[in-house]
């Protein structure tokens, strides 16, 4: 039979990699369960049109069911929660948490993984900055528990800031789009060239410095003292500063504000946050406020803030201690199984030696790095 390979971008997990992932996932699940969050599980397969207006331009994995419906492997885990809330009659506000796999095809030759395990929370019905502060506390807890040696940097932005400022200018749609893209990609030459097309206005001093307006809270404050902030941007910047002050008050994490940050997902409407370390090749955490998302599925909208943790990225840099208790294999003849079973059940590191001969049991124990115990009449279990 020909060898069957995994599709590109997907992976199997076994041994230490899988065990580290279990330890991290189980700690996170317990953290949210202990804090009265409600667990939600959604199917791995969804209707394709659920994601049409919000996900990236990369095509999803498509699936066709027996009825011929056009389905996909979910490329996002927040949208299925929104779909659920639009169809279910549950009391709000509500704190939800989930753990699942999403599938998003990376650009060709990028080397990215198409399969990602994500654990996330959705705070539905909370129209207060305290919801964003709750997400900051979660990020701080990750710092404290898993990232002792690799400080998490939290980058704050606002999904509407760029569009709000550009909307206040007397420019056409094409120039608006080009300037926004140049800002998001920190393409200074392109941005400066586009800026030359704007007539003199009160906002020009801000516009000239705008692409470089990112840094720590103190650095940003100094920049803001030197210019007049456009009226359209002031409420959003004030919110960012307030949240950054709170985040900076918590130890062992760095906080960055970016006034031209790219939006992680199209459905975000307010403050966004990303978390990364010097060792991570991708964002460990990503999220933000998406107050208008439910309006796309139902007549009623609800304020909401979400946060997604890239479990794979977190596991790759986390300080995780594997259980180091030495395993014990117990060998007995078939007619002595009843005598050894209760001893095995009483000890967490004991398991049955799956061998028909003592010699084979010794070989299995040696290969597994386990101690071998043998049942002997009148003595009970004796180390071999």
Q: Which residues contact 126 (CB under 8 A, 6 or more apart)?
A: 93, 303, 304, 305
pLDDT number for residue 10: 87
Peptide bond into 93 cis (omega under 30): yes
pLDDT number for residue 88: 85
Residue 154 has pLDDT above 90, yes or no: yes
pLDDT number for residue 109: 53
pLDDT number for residue 318: 87
pLDDT number for residue 371: 93
Q: Which residues contact 321 (CB under 8 A, 6 or more apart)?
A: none
Q: Which residues contact 192 (CB under 8 A, 6 or more apart)?
A: none
> Where does residue 16 rank: exposed (0-12), middle (13-18), buried (19+ CB within 10 A)?
exposed
Nearest of 331, 326, 322, 330 to residue 369 by alpha carbon = 326
Q: Between these two residues, 232 and 301, which has the higher pLDDT value?
A: 232
pLDDT number for residue 1: 54
Q: Hey, is 207 helix, strand or coil?
A: helix
- Residues at the binding site for L-histidine are 76-78, 118, 122, 267-268
pLDDT number for residue 273: 94
pLDDT number for residue 175: 95
Q: What is the pLDDT of residues 332-359, one digit of tens each?
A: 999 888 888 988 999 989 999 999 999 9
State percent of the chain over pLDDT 90.
63
**In the block, which residue shows the tokens 């307010």?**
270
Q: Between these two residues, 171 and 299, which has the higher pLDDT value?
A: 171
Both ends of the chain: CA-CA distance in Å?
A: 42
CA distance 27 to 146: 10
Q: What is the pLDDT of residues 103-150, one digit of tens each?
A: 988 766 555 678 999 999 999 999 999 999 999 999 999 988 898 766
Residue 240 has pLDDT above 90, yes or no: yes
Question: Which residues make up the CATH 3.30.930.10 domain(s) of the chain?
Answer: 1-149+278-324
pLDDT number for residue 68: 80
CATH for 1-149+278-324? 3.30.930.10
pLDDT number for residue 59: 80
pLDDT-derived band at 89, boundaries 50, 70, 90: confident
pLDDT number for residue 263: 87
Residue 325 has pLDDT above 70, yes or no: yes
For the chain, give the number of residues: 384
State percent of the chain over pLDDT 70.
96
Give one DSSP letter per residue of 133-191, joined into a string.
HHHHHHHHHHHHHH-SSSPEEEEEEETTHHHHHHHTSS--HHHHHHHHHHHHTT-HHHH
Residue 268 has pLDDT above 90, yes or no: yes
Longest dimension (CA), the chain: 98
- Which tokens hold the place of 60? 């999803």
pLDDT number for residue 249: 94
Backbone angles phi, psi at 59, to 5 degrees: -70, 145
| Summary mean pLDDT of the chain | 90
pLDDT number for residue 87: 86
- Over residues 77-83, the mean pLDDT reads 93
pLDDT number for residue 7: 84
CA distance 143 to 140: 5
- Residues at the binding site are 76-78, 118, 122, 267-268
- Over residues 357-375, the mean pLDDT reads 93
pLDDT-derived band at 323, boundaries 50, 70, 90: low
């Amino acid at each position: 039979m020909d060898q069957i390979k995994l599709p590109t971008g997907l992976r199997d997990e076994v041994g230490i990699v899988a065990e580290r992932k279990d330890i991290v996932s189980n700690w996170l699940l317990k953290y949210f369960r202990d804090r009265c969050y409600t667990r939600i599980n959604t199917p791995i397969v969804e209707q394709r049109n659920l994601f049409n207006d919000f996900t990236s331009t990369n095509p999803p994995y498509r699936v066709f069911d027996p009825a011929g419906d056009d389905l996909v492997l979910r490329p996002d885990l927040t949208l299925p929660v929104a779909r659920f809330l639009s169809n279910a009659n549950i009391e709000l506000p509500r704190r939800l948490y989930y753990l699942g796999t999403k599938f998003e095809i990376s650009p060709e030759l990028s080397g990215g993984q198409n399969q990602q395990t994500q654990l996330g929370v959705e705070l539905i019905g909370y129209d207060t900055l305290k919801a964003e502060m709750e997400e900051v506390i979660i990020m701080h807890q990750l710092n404290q528990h898993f990232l002792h040696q690799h400080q998490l940097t939290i980058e704050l932005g606002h999904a509407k800031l760029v569009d709000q400022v550009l909307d206040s200018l007397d420019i056409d749609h094409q120039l608006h789009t080009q300037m926004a893209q140049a800002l998001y990609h920190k393409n200074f030459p392109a941005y400066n060239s586009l800026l030359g097309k704007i007539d003199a206005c009160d906002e020009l001093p801000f516009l000239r410095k705008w692409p470089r307006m990112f840094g720590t809270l103190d650095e940003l404050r100094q920049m803001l003292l030197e210019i007049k902030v456009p009226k359209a941007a002031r409420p959003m910047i004030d919110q960012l500063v307030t949240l950054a002050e709170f985040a900076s008050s918590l130890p062992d994490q760095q906080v960055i504000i970016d006034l031209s940050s790219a939006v992680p997902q199209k459905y975000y409407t307010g403050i966004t946050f990303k978390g990364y370390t010097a060792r991570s090749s991708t964002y460990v955490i990503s999220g933000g406020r998406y107050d208008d998302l439910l309006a796309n599925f139902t007549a009623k909208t609800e304020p909401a803030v979400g946060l997604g943790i890239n479990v794979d990225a977190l596991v790759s840099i986390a300080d995780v201690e594997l259980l180091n208790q030495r395993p014990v294999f117990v060998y007995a003849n078939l007619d002595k199984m009843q005598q050894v079973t209760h001893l095995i059940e009483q000890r967490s590191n004991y398991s049955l030696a799956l061998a028909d001969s003592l010699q084979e049991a010794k070989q299995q124990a040696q290969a597994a790095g386990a101690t071998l115990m043998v049942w002997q009449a009148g003595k009970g279990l004796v180390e071999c």
